[in-house]
Amino acid sequence: MALQQLVNILPHAVTEALQKAADSPYSSYGNTNGSASLADIGTVFKIVEDLSALICTLDAAVAMLTSCKVHLVQSRADHSRFVSALWRLPVEIMAEIFQLSVPHQIRRGAILDGLRGRGPALNVAQVCRHWRSVALATPSLWEVVRIRVPVKIYSSDVMDSIDLYESELELLSRGSPAPFYLVSTVNMEGLRFAPKANSIPIPCNDTSFVERLESCWGLDVGSVVFSTYKPMFAAMKNLRRLMTMTSGLNSFDVSPYPLLTHLSMHVSYTSRTMLSDWFSSVRCYHLTTLIMLVGAREDDSQFEVDITRLVQSFPRLEHLYMEIPGLELTPPNVAFSHPTLKTLSIACTNGPDTAYELSTLGSLFALATFPSLSELILHDESAFTVYFTPYRTGMENQHDR
């Protein structure tokens, strides 16, 4: 029953029932030796019937109110969770994914106000809406604690300790129930910072760092971590999300994190064999989102990635975003399928020429089967629109069915 009907019916029914529930002249007779006669039996029967009818009316009203209350309690809980997700939407992550998703020509200095035509702008809007829904569907919400780690990216030299400063201590002392992002910011020049007053030095190689945060400040830091220095977080067996910036993949291992679901990797430099070996050896069965950006390479050779191994390594993958120059998917003539992949973006261009990227992705779609694929992020709107029209049309028809 609709809430408005309930509001209109209940007051009248309950009021009418209560008005009829007058005191009976025989109320005291059950506890006394009153002088009622057999002639009163009809009247008493009538009172019993009336009271039974009134009780049924009130029972029906109570049942209606109980059902309405259950519905309202559930609705309140649903809206409370939604407000919480909206309030704590990860602005930094959404901004990063937005920047990664826009076409290259926009990323290189053009402003959105200067766009002409609907193609690139519509593409950007679709990407933003999709990734926003991904974030809203994620129950782990967070705040940010920044930890400055003076580390040279291209050197193994690190300082002996890090320092939590006053602003970080103040944030930690709030005891927020939300899981935290621990953000390690790197000093690119490798300069040593003088510790500020009221700072707490913590050894970089001390795996009890996480335990200390959880025990002293009651934080749940097992859900989300930004890290540039992995040993400090080796105790995080329940880690769900990890973003790492690294100079190579030879020392990066995800096996300590068996529950990892989101992995964002920014690789500043890697060799041809290193990338291939990493994809061949990694096993992450719970991963649903993988973002990988590779910068410089040692020469002009291609990065070879065994696509069938990639599929086997991430069987539950739903969102794949890869930006790797000179990417070559091998073996080129083996058909394969991935049942859960929903979002796919593979950028592998060498400069402004997109012929190689078109050829690579064309061979991929010729052999691959993605029954759940609903979004293809394109990086050259005009070329890809022409080339992938039959594929996109097929996906749209499959989605409509």
pLDDT, tens digit, 9 for 90 and up, residues 131-165: 444 444 443 333 334 444 443 333 333 334 444 44
User: What pLDDT was estimated at residue 168?
Assistant: 47
User: What pLDDT was estimated at residue 318?
Assistant: 85
74 and 152 in a common domain:
no
Rounded CA separation 199/207 (Å):
19
47 and 103 in a common domain:
no
Q: 229-260 b/e with 16+ CB inside 10 Å = b?
A: bbebbebbeebbbbbbbbbbbeebebeebeeb
User: What pLDDT was estimated at residue 332?
Assistant: 59
Nearest CA-CA partner of 326 in 356, 353, 292, 352:
356
User: What pLDDT was estimated at residue 382?
Assistant: 47
Domain membership flag for residue 235? yes
How is residue 350 annotated by DSSP? B
Q: 140-150 b/e with 16+ CB inside 10 Å = b?
A: bbbeebebbbb
Highest mean pLDDT among 30-44, 164-178, 299-313: 299-313
307 and 199 in a common domain:
yes
Q: Which domain holds residue 297?
A: 91-400
User: What pLDDT was estimated at residue 109?
Assistant: 36
What percent of the chain is predicted at pLDDT more than 90? 0
> What digits encode the pLDDT tens for the residues 276-296?
777 777 777 888 888 887 775
| pTM (predicted TM-score) | 0.48
Specify the number of domains making up the chain: 2
Question: Mean per-residue pLDDT for 75-100?
Answer: 60
Rounded CA separation 14/6 (Å):
12
**Under 8 Å between Cβ of 380 and 354:** yes
9 and 158 in a common domain:
no
Domain membership flag for residue 34? no
Rounded CA separation 338/400 (Å):
20
User: What pLDDT was estimated at residue 284?
Assistant: 79
Pick the more confident residue, 345 or 2: 345
Question: pLDDT-derived band of residue 224, with 50, 70 and 90 as boundaries?
Answer: very low
